[in-house]
Amino acid sequence: MTRLTNCRSIAFSVLIAGLGIPMAIAAPLGLPPVPIPDDNPQTEAKIALGDRLFHDPRFSVDGTISCATCHAPEKAFTDHRRLSEGHSGLLGTRNSPTVINSAYMEELFWDGREPDLEGQSKQPPVNPVEGGLADIGVLVEKIRSEPSYVEAFKAVFGVKAQDITADHFADAIASFERTIIAGDSPFDRYQYGGDESAMSEAAVRGLEVFRGQGRCVSCHLIEQTQALFTDNRFHNIGVGFKTIRGQEAEIARKFLEAKNAGADVDKTVLADKEASELGRFAVIEDINKVGAFKTSTLRNIALTPPYMHDGSLDTLEGVIDFYNNGGREKETDPVTPFLSGGIRPLNLSDEQKQDLVAFLEALTSPEIASQVPSTEIITGNTGDQQP
């Protein structure tokens, strides 16, 4: 992890920090220390302010949408919808990933278009299908006109009302997100805690499939002392291929034309279903990366259906069938020419598939599970209606 080298060294224990005193975040079993950027140290007051901003719906055009609408603590910081729904019932093109452990991601969003949590958090309020604010100045005005925020920003950042900027908003939210960390799952206790009885026998067999015949571990990494379950890289595993099949070059050309003429990538990919499927290409403009998306973490995966960047797979069984078929829902479906070399049919038996599910279920952190009463997928005015 290159970014770690830029970061302050971190103690493993939580320091009891007063106002303004930088504090470290404890790393739970199975996770490395949380990277904290030098220019945005954690303080208790900043984290509390970020928590409040994260849950405040005022940063949307109709006053109904906050970060927590799509990243709800009781839904494991997702929304349990295929595609996220912003203000006025508007649908985006993508599934909401969990914010849990996003502090470890080297790039944010499915296509990695933002380098850090600070940059990421300034996008949703002004995205037309999310918060819908006209521009970031509207957000800043909303903060400056609320006396309790003016007081809190002064206490945290030492600024007067007229000096509050969107960067302060971003810093506070990112600090809060860096506290949403969860490890210590049955897998962690088995793998790193020396407790051989922490996982069921099925899950132990599933771990073998994950490392062996399933080859999942080549992208969803498990390391000597920790497991992020992501390589922080981008791969085309076949998801969403049908939407742009055969038209990739034309859609890529149109997208680049618009981008070069000044179109905003964040707004384009969340509003335009075809542009969304370009994946990593939209950011680095490398034709080999058409349809490549960031390897997801698999921690708490049993709590965050539906799956994939387009929310197209409802269950873990469906995900495993997809991989077993070599990156397609049905064995008879065509394969994308952009498919990653790491994806091919796996020939797993029914028992191996069940064991893999048991293993994925062993990646749930108990303190997250206890906050999530239901994992039912919300349908209705959602992804079902996306053309």
Binding site for ligand HEC (CB under 6 A): 54, 65, 67, 69-71, 84, 86, 92, 94, 96-97, 99, 102, 105, 108-110, 117, 120-121, 124-125, 130-131, 173, 214-216, 218-220, 235, 237, 239, 269-270, 293, 295-296, 298, 301, 304, 307-309, 319-320, 323, 340, 342-343, 356
CB of 18 or CB of 334, closer to ligand HEC: 334
Q: How far is the CB of 170 from ligand HEC (least distance, A)?
A: 8
- Return all residues near 253 (Cβ < 8 A) that are at least 6 apart: none
Q: How far is the CB of 310 from ligand HEC (least distance, A)?
A: 7
Q: How far is the CB of 201 from ligand HEC (least distance, A)?
A: 18
Query: In which residue are the tokens 């067999």 written?
Result: 205
Q: How far is the CB of 225 from ligand HEC (least distance, A)?
A: 22
CA distance 164 to 153: 7
Consecutive H or E run containing 235: strand 234-235
CA distance 185 to 101: 13
CB of 222 or CB of 301, closer to ligand HEC: 301
CB of 226 or CB of 312, closer to ligand HEC: 312
CB of 198 or CB of 209, closer to ligand HEC: 209
Q: How far is the CB of 102 from ligand HEC (least distance, A)?
A: 4
Query: In which residue are the tokens 């970020």 written?
Result: 50
Rg (CA), the chain: 21
Closest by CA position to 157, among listed 175, 142, 139: 175
CB of 7 or CB of 18, closer to ligand HEC: 7
Measured in degrees and rounded to the nearest 5, phi and psi for residue 212 equal -100, -110
Q: How far is the CB of 257 from ligand HEC (least distance, A)?
A: 21
192: its two tokens: 């790193």
CA distance 289 to 236: 7
- Return all residues near 68 (Cβ < 8 A) that are at least 6 apart: 54, 55
CB of 142 or CB of 309, closer to ligand HEC: 309
Q: How far is the CB of 18 from ligand HEC (least distance, A)?
A: 26
- Return all residues near 324 (Cβ < 8 A) that are at least 6 apart: 345, 346, 347, 348, 353
CB of 195 or CB of 331, closer to ligand HEC: 331
